[in-house]
Amino acid sequence: MTILVGCRADESGIAALSLAALLARSADTDLVVCSIVADAWPVDPTNLDAEFLAYLERVAQQHLDQARARLPEDIRATYVARHAGSIPKGLMEAAAEHDADMIVVGSSS
């Protein structure tokens, strides 16, 4: 069994990460921590969109680094960032790629 958790740096994301860690520990299973970079438009590498996309990638990596620092050491976790047309689509694709049996996300504001 594998659990995928959507990674965000806000309070909702921290709660989701805590729940996912609890479930992973209880089930003695692996956790995939996933941060999605939403590609909402086609990026033209010759203009500022490329710079904004690079910024979003850095933010996604920062979220993963924060999640890594928050998770207890006894949790087996993989950290991935991926691009997708939307966050839900990216989470579903990541779940399929990692053969996840469950997806944990935080509540929306």
Low-confidence ranges of the chain (pLDDT < 70): 40-48, 109
Q: What pLDDT shows up at residue 25?
A: 96
Q: What pLDDT shows up at residue 54?
A: 85
Q: What pLDDT shows up at residue 43?
A: 58
Q: What is the DSSP string of 32-97?
A: EEEEEEE--S---TTSHHHHHHHHHHHHHHHHHHHHHHHS-TTS-EEEEEEEESSHHHHHHHHHHH
Q: What pLDDT shows up at residue 53?
A: 80
Q: Which residues pair with 81 in a beta bridge?
A: 35
Q: What pLDDT shows up at residue 50?
A: 73
Q: What pLDDT shows up at residue 28?
A: 95
Q: Is 13 exposed, middle or buried (0-12, 13-18, 19+ CB in 10 A)?
A: buried
